[in-house]
Amino acid sequence: MIKNKDRYLSFLLVLPSILAVGVFIYGFIGWSIRVSLSQWKGLTPDYTFVGLNNYLSLFSDPRFMVDIRNTLIFTLVFVIGSILLGFILAVMLDQGLKGEPFFRTLFLFPMAISFIVTGVVWRWLMNPAEGDRMSGFNLLFSNLGLDFLVNKWHTTPEWGMAAIALAAIWQMSGYTMALYLAGLRSIPAELREAAKIDGATELQIYRYIILPILSPVSLSALIILGHISLKVFDLIIAIAGKQYQLDVPAIYMWQTTFDGLFYGRGAAIGTLLLLSVAVLIIPYIRYTLKNEAQL
Amino acid sequence: MKPAVSRFSIGKNWLYIPLVLMAIFYLLPMYIMLVTGFKSFEEVDLRTMWNLPQGLALDNYIEAFSKLAPYLLNSFIMVIPAAILSSFLGSLNGYVLAKWKFKGADIIFPLILFGMFIPYQSILIPLVGFTNTIMKPLGLSGIPSLILAHIIYGIPITTLTFRNYYASLPGELIEAARIDGADMLGVYRWILLPISIPSFVVVLIWQFTSAWNDFLFAVVLTGNNAWPITVALNNMAGSQIIAWNVQMAGSLLAALPTLLVYLLLGNYFLRGLLAGSLKG
């Protein structure tokens, strides 16, 4: 029998957090949407309703089209790269080799540092300068006789975002490795042995037994990395600053709002980002909580 | 120990080749930061950036530290209360949401969770408005506003981690304490709090790392006296005046606190990381 006093008290304990989340997340989202439907441009708030004008103008805005294209390139390279690399590393580390903790610690350490630090260092590693001023990876390739690998990195026209994604893979692939490693460790050894007795090759075991069991892990990785791609911001700022060729929605939002004072458009970009994240994340939260309830 | 058939065979030693190559890939940026930092000013040259230093000079670190020290201090001042308070709130929420489900708790929890994933661009304009109209007149702009943002936007992940942990504890534990006469707060104070120290370490580390590494909130909520290290480092790197070698040394200084926490408490860090993907 639960006492009423305890009931009220427990609700009282979470009330500050519920209010904070209610105001600072949902209230602020509502406020942002309201700004996105207004013509506010300038220092003083102007909530004159303009309907979806800010959204519509974004979709005929060449800069926003560049942003979408860049986000797609980044997402594709970053998500596929991190998942593949993370999976391969996890499988290698799951073979019971000596020194596994050392390698695991090493592959995961970039997760502990900020995108800003990563960006500042990679900015110099991916320095596109040529000839006498060559440095970074290009210099390393050149010294090793791998001149065909020398390239313009993030300053490559059209595909510069792929180079930014490379730095992001360096930072985040340890995370997918950790996810897969935890998944692999939870697979009972008997399962593999049984398959082996049935004559399955190592490759077949991974293809037909392990990968299907790990599909929830792959789904998590896909969604977490996918939503990180949509939000990418600091890394680009630290590598390249604000450049049109490497623009993404998060940077456009920041610039148009705080440098250009076009609050209406900034809020519209923010809301579109939120919608794109919500489409990924809401089903994921529902799926996870439903699975948990069934346990 | 049973002899594992395939997992310890010598035939797998070739795997060290790709593993070592990957290790080199992960270490290259670290190598550049360290090596460049230890070169003397005379020795620094982009064309020899991959060479080992000829001695152990501290020029770059001293120069970087003298420029970045105030901002490192700002980061510490900001991160410590933010991590402690958001962890504490998360533990209270987690306790109630796991063991004292009130009406509507099943709706509230996913709503809190969603807050973990939102792009902060979607709340940035109101947040800045709130800071300017409410925090500033109270004299709480800058670092206090940043602390508040990290506490509030940290609630979802801290709540999730603690809720998953408390949900994994058997109900009998609480029943037994209640039979002994403990009330709701007593159960928390005397039973759950002491055994959740490891969870606190996980959450504290996680909040410390994410607040230390944050850039977006910092750049919109703080002016140049209150900048945390991420903003200061980014501005240092963006300016033409400060040499790249000092930037490398500065990057290492900025990375060092979270890196040390990771090296010393790696397993707790890993648990926080996995909790963030919703799997407790």
User: What letter does residue A133 receive in the DSSP assignment?
Assistant: G
User: What letter does residue A293 receive in the DSSP assignment?
Assistant: H
Give the pLDDT of residue B3.
45
Q: How far is CA A45 from CA A40, A151, A261, B262, in A?
A: 6, 47, 10, 44
And the tokens for A264? Answer: 């209406």
B29 and A122 in contact by Cβ < 8 A? Answer: yes
**Rounded CA gap, A207 and A231, in Å?**
33
Give the pLDDT of residue B195.
92
> Distance of alpha carbon B228 from its chain centroid, rounded?
14
The residue assigned the tokens 């306790």 is B95
Backbone φ and ψ for A253, nearest 5 degrees, come out as -60, -50
Count how many residues are written for chain A.
Answer: 295
And the tokens for B191? Answer: 């039973």
Q: Which residues in chain B have Cβ-Cβ distances shorter than 8 Å to A170?
A: 25-26, 29
Query: pLDDT for A84-117, tens place per residue?
Result: 999 999 999 999 899 999 999 999 999 999 999 9
Q: Which residues in chain A have Cβ-Cβ distances shorter than 8 Å to B193?
A: none
Q: How confident is the model at residue A19 (pLDDT cuts 50, 70, 90)?
A: very high
A181 touches chain B (CB under 8 A): no
Q: How confident is the model at residue A3 (pLDDT cuts 50, 70, 90)?
A: low
Measured between CA atoms, the residue of chain A closest to residue B105 is A11
**Could you give the dihedral angle defined by the CA atoms of residues B106, B107, B111 and B112, in that order, rounded to the nearest 10 degrees?**
-40
**Rounded CA gap, A42 and A20, in Å?**
29
A28 and B123 in contact by Cβ < 8 A? Answer: yes
A179 touches chain B (CB under 8 A): yes
Q: Which residues in chain B have Cβ-Cβ distances shorter than 8 Å to A230?
A: 119
User: What letter does residue B101 receive in the DSSP assignment?
Assistant: P
Give the pLDDT of residue A9.
87
**Rounded CA gap, A268 and A273, in Å?**
9
| Residue type at A19 in one-letter notation | L
Q: Are B96 and B102 in contact (CB under 8 A)?
A: yes
Q: Which of B54, B26, B28, B67 has its CA nearest to residue B247?
A: B67
Q: In this structure, how many other beta carbons lie within 10 angstroms of the beta carbon of residue A270?
A: 29
Query: pLDDT for A171-228, tens place per residue?
Result: 999 999 999 999 999 999 888 889 989 888 888 999 999 999 999 999 999 999 999 9
The residue assigned the tokens 């991160």 is B79
Measured between CA atoms, the residue of chain B closest to residue A15 is B93
B102 and A143 in contact by Cβ < 8 A? Answer: no
B113 and A285 in contact by Cβ < 8 A? Answer: yes
Give the pLDDT of residue B127.
97
Q: In this structure, how many other beta carbons lie within 10 angstroms of the beta carbon of residue A281?
A: 21
Q: Is the pLDDT of residue A233 over 70?
A: yes
**Rounded CA gap, A217 and A199, in Å?**
27
Mark A206-243 as b/e (b = at least 16 C-beta within 10 Å). eeebbeeebeebbebbbbbbbbbbbbbbbbbbbbbeee
Q: What is the ipTM of this complex?
A: 0.92
Please tell me which residue, A17 or A96, carries the higher pLDDT value: A17
Furthest C-alpha separation in chain B: 74
A179 and B29 in contact by Cβ < 8 A? Answer: no
Tell me the shortest Cα–Cα distance from A290 to chain B, in angstroms.
11
A281 and B117 in contact by Cβ < 8 A? Answer: yes
Helix, strand, or coil here: A49? strand
> Distance of alpha carbon B118 from its chain centroid, rounded?
17
Q: Which residues in chain A have Cβ-Cβ distances shorter than 8 Å to B255?
A: 112-114, 117
Q: Which of B237, B269, B215, B28 has its CA nearest to residue A170?
A: B28
Cα–Cα–Cα angle for B176, B180, B183, rounded to 5 degrees: 90
**Rounded CA gap, A57 and A50, in Å?**
12
Q: Which segments of chain B have a pLDDT < 70?
A: 1-10, 278-280
Crossing angle of helices B244-264 and B59-99, in 10° steps, is 40
Q: How far is CA B126 from CA A11, A191, B152, in A?
A: 28, 53, 14
B122 and A273 in contact by Cβ < 8 A? Answer: yes
Helix, strand, or coil here: B1? coil
Q: Which residues in chain B have Cβ-Cβ distances shorter than 8 Å to A250?
A: 119, 121
**Rounded CA gap, B128 and A113, in Å?**
26
Q: Is the pLDDT of residue A54 over 70?
A: yes
**pTM (2 d.p.):** 0.92
Contact residues, A window 50-69, toward B, CB-based 8 Å cutoff: none
Q: How far is CA B164 from CA A235, A289, B98, B157, B204, in A?
A: 31, 11, 7, 11, 16
**Rounded CA gap, A167 and A157, in Å?**
18
Q: Which of B48, B236, B6, B177 has its CA nearest to residue A97?
A: B6
A116 and B29 in contact by Cβ < 8 A? Answer: no
